[in-house]
Amino acid sequence: MNKRSAEETKKNILEAARIVFVEYGYAQASMRIIAREAGISVGALYLYFRNKEELHLTFVQDWMKQLNDRTHEALLNIDDPIEAIKAFISITIDFARKNKEIIILQRRELGFLFGIDLKREFSRERRRLIADIIRKGIKSGVFRECDADETAKIIFNTLRGYGVSMVLNEEALFATEDYVKLLLNGLRAFP
């Protein structure tokens, strides 16, 4: 099997895993069901992943990488810190909405501790991105002086709360535009 074919097969397995985990939940999903969804044998699946936990952790890592890649790509072409914050928030909320079932699965069935090291690194990366935008905004005079790292934690945790709201109560979900306005009112430097 060539490298390209192996990568395509792995990508196919991860998509099949997403479908199966959403439909069956983590507990009821099995390697057999995932293999069937991916159109490969169970033995072939085990060539890529030792067990369901490893497959799920790889799936979660890939899922988080997709969000970070989208965010980095969007921010590459944005110089204005206000537009960068707007893009960061919009991409994050849009990604959460499109992946609602995965977020619900993570929160309800697997709990916070499943894949905790992956989640910690993901959280650090997201907070770093936000803090860098804020520092750039402070330096350019667009944002007022503040502790960029602490502000990034507040923004990140508010966005994390959005995910929790999807699980607990959809009425608690907020409009992206309203959130951005409120946030920017606190960050903007006024003459």
pLDDT in tens, 109-121: 666 556 788 889 9
pTM: 0.85
**Cβ atoms of 105 and 130 closer than 8 Å:** no
- Going from the C-alpha of 122 to that of each of 26, 35, 100, the distances in angstroms are 21, 28, 18
Q: What is the mean pLDDT of the chain?
A: 89
Extract the tokens encoding 52: 């369901």
DSSP 108: I
Q: Walk me through the domains of the chain, giving residue ranges and CATH numbers.
A: 1-49 (1.10.10.60), 52-187 (1.10.357.10)
SS3 state at 48? helix
The residue type found at 14 is: L
Residue-level pLDDT at 172: 64
